[in-house]
Structure 1
Amino acid sequence: MYRLTWFATNYDVNREVNNGRGPVDFKISKGSRDKTLVEFKLASNSKLKQNLKHQVGVYQAANNTSKSIKAILHFSQTEYLRVQNVLRDLGLSGRRDVVLIDASPKASASTVSDFNQKGFDF
């Protein structure tokens, strides 16, 4: 699905690019000088801290770029708090290149029985 968001753009999107030190999730480029790596991580990953500290930097060097985005998916409040602690420990809190994605289960709009009770007026 992520790759589809780039459809019909001027960007070249490659998945699992392996330039010698392991595959990065995505490499987005517009010409040879404009490259950004995107690495997705699960908050539940037992090696999250280690990976954030070292892995993306290794991928950046292998792909000759200094730009990357670390996207971290969390599925619960507990995972969210764990990620916040890891980011604080690594000095990564509040950075634009670290994106937290709330993937916790949500009620589907199709299961809501009465919108007016929720403050919606149609």
Structure 2
Amino acid sequence: VGTDIDEPSARIANENAAINDAKCEFYFADGLSDARIAQHAPYDLVFANILAAPLVFLAPEIAGALKPGGVAILSGLLRTQEERILEAYLPLGFVVEQTIHHDAWSALQLRKK
């Protein structure tokens, strides 16, 4: 399952899933607390490609939605924002598994202990 706060993006994601015969559903929703998303938790993987401020805000929700040993892949942030993200996630029981840099951009792969 996936979410997007932009209704057309959720619709297009569903169209692309159908074209690619992917067995998934995307919802226009404001995060993991939406009942359609929460009912499937806990997850093995949460992937979030959003800005740093929402990543920080959603840290407790992402932690709560993941199984122990689950992975969070966080992208859409700048290298200069990594420390801010880690300050939000490490105290929630995450460890860094991988950091990927591309130009000024960063992606973090974190595992929930």
TM-score between both structures, scaled by the size of structure 1: 0.40
Determine which structure has the larger strand proportion and give its number: 2
**Which structure has more helix as a fraction of its residues?**
2
By relative contact order (CA 8 Å, sep 6+), the higher-ranking structure is 2
Normalising by structure 2, we get a TM-score of 0.42
